Amino acid sequence: MQTPKFRLYYPKQGEREVPIMETTNKYLDLSGAISLSKSVAAKAITIVNTKQGVRTRLSSQLWKDLGKPEQVEVFLLGDKVVITEAQNPDNALPVGDKRYIYGTGLAKKLAELAGVDFKARKSNGEPMSAPVGSYKMQPITEELNGAVISFS
């Protein structure tokens, strides 16, 4: 039996739709598919367990999408986390070298939300860093955008 071959097909205006997953010499119709942008497909943050404590590292794309802020604010919204460029100095967290946010309490809460268990990772021989979450940029106010991070 011959293995089915698939090719991607982007229909031109007016062409008939081809059912998804037809085999051999047919095309995969993506006209109804939703494209995932880099920000949705990329992991939002990495939680790193170090000897000095647990840290949070922003992905380079998330950091760029936020406007490369020197300080951020982090909000809990149900089971999601929202990160914005800092507007309130009282709530601001500095973004350090290599996009790290230093704060063990924050990192532990994010690890809990993401289901990261460093004790289990260590006993399984897994790395002590865990890239987690996907994000989507959303307007917060007319002038401010935020990264809404989900862990599901």
Please write the tens of the pLDDT for every residue from 1-37.
Answer: 444 444 444 444 555 444 444 444 455 566 665 555 5
- What's the rounded mean pLDDT across residues 38-56? 79
| Residue 10: per-residue pLDDT | 45
Q: Which of 74, 100, 69, 97 is nearest to 85 (CA)?
A: 69
The verdict on 69 and 50 lying in the same domain is yes
141/124 same-domain check: yes
Closest of 147, 150, 151 to residue 85, by C-alpha: 147
User: Average pLDDT in the 67-93 region?
Assistant: 93
Q: What is the pLDDT of residue 32?
A: 66
Do 5 and 23 meet the contact criterion of CB atoms below 8 Å apart?
yes
d(CA 22, CA 135): 33
> Do both 62 and 121 map to the same domain?
yes
Q: Are 17 and 45 part of one and the same domain?
A: no
CA angle 107, 112, 116 (to 5 degrees): 90
The residue ranking higher by pLDDT, 122 or 63, is 63
Do residues 60 and 14 both lie within one domain? no
Residue 15 CB: number of other CB atoms within 10 A?
12
pLDDT of 123 reads: 79
> Looking at the structure, do residues 27 and 102 belong to the same domain, yes or no?
no
Considering the domain architecture, whether residues 25 and 54 belong to the same structural domain is answered as no
What is the distance between the terminal CA atoms of the chain, rounded to a whole angstrom?
39
Contact 72, 93 (CB under 8 A): yes
CB atoms within 10 A of CB 58: 24
What range defines the domain where residue 29 resides? 1-33
pLDDT digits (tens, 9 = 90+) for 96-142: 989 999 888 999 999 999 999 888 877 778 878 889 999 999 999 98
Is pLDDT larger for residue 127 or for residue 38?
Answer: 127
Judge if 28 and 42 occupy the same domain. no
pLDDT value of position 21? 44
